[in-house]
A and B are shown apart, each in its own frame.
Chain A
């Protein structure tokens, strides 16, 4: 009952804030709305019984990634955008087509995943066994999905090294040193 009410509140916040991310005229506002979206999303994870993922969502996305976005955005001398969308018949049609395709994708995805919803174990919703859930998660990550896990780690490392290399070549802040 109270979980249902909370879910609808959080879902409304997510929809409204992600809409504002797109239409806000100032990039800083967009980033701050994105942060609210991430926090609400973590709340939804918590309601679904994925406590650890809710916490990690909070630490990684809301607490680190978007803080970095906001920080970088604040370093620029930002002017307000004149309008959120450009106008024109051709681009208007393109936008409608893209929005329709995305909507179809979301509805199709939701419809196909309803079978998964029925298999949610009710005992996973209680606070007491959040630790055993974590053990299951860790067991899967370090056994069945070990390769994917490690490959993702290497991918992130490659990205970090690549960014440093590119910024040096193109005359970034360290050029000439």
Chain B
């Protein structure tokens, strides 16, 4: 967890943190646009299409509107907690997103600059590396409940409080199923580390079977083929964790106005939005990392891609950089596809009733996740031991 040995490495690492955070924040307006256009497409209308090409600069107009709105705090709120809540909405998402590897690490060879020699360096394509990746992300994202609770309580409004209570109860309930659905992956990959997990998903599907290695050449080596049930439970629990439809009871418009952020407006409201979309991005990035091979191209190892670039006459540094950017685009395509599914589901399914939500969480998903864990443990034990 050190920033680096010399000035170059430290400055690149700090720049990387800032850029990845900005990337997450900048993706939000685009996602809002996709959400509005997508919902219009699903509901057979046009959506925002007047401002700029395809309505894309609608986002700029929105941002200006949010910035220039009156800085309004209702009477009889608790101002400290009221201001703290939107900030807390941003932090967990940003920290969790920073720890996910977004592409293959970049290798920079030794070079001469300003009269001294620098390097060689290895830069991971993420804000910071943390050995216990999954545990860290689960812990950080469980702090998201505070933001909702603080917003709901400090607003001093019945709607906000009810929304916050629903939200936190829902998040705590679904965290169990979420955590348990991942245990199967941990058993298979034997690691908590995202990078090692992605390394284990390269090439075609292969697994140990009684002391021999079986290779299925027409499937990529992705987690979803080992853990289909875990993937489904994880994806459903992610919808509940991000408070999206069909689990958006915390902000059910018909009952609670807007739930925990009823009393917020302007930039503070926008920060809740960024937090929600940030959570969605973290959810999709995790889903890709666990079950869809991370930044790996299907069937092709990053090493092969790099050799291809070297073959086209790139230098060692250049090929490493181009490989990282190509694989980053691959990662983004997978994440965007899942984000589109999030939006698609939101505008296709109706909302659950509250007791249905709790039944689904505690009586359906939790037992299935437990069963998946036990089944995986038995299967791993049987397949990995050599039958002699």
Contact = CB atoms under 8 A, between A and B. Distances in A.
Interface of A: 2, 28, 32, 35, 39, 42, 51-52, 54-59, 62-64, 67-68, 70-71, 74-75, 127-128, 130-131, 134
Nearest to A130: B131
B131 A128 contact: yes
B169 A62 contact: no
B118 interface: no
Interface in B140-169: 140, 142-143, 145-146, 149-150, 152-153, 161, 164-165, 168-169
Contacts of B165: 71, 74-75
B131 A71 contact: no
Contacts, number: 84
B6 to A, nearest CB: 15
A63 B175 contact: yes
B149 A134 contact: no
Contacts of B193: 131
A39 B193 CA distance: 21
Contact of B136 (A32, A39, A55): A55
Given A39-B143, A42-B139, A71-B168, A127 B129 contact: yes
Interface in B162-196: 164-165, 168-169, 172, 175, 179, 190-193
Contacts of A2: 2
A10 B129 CA distance: 21
11 contacts: A32-B150, A39-B143, A51-B132, A55-B136, A59-B179, A63-B139, A64-B142, A74-B149, A75-B165, A131-B191, A134-B192
Contact of A130 (B161, B179, B192): B192
Contacts of A67: 142, 145-146, 149, 168, 172
B114 interface: no
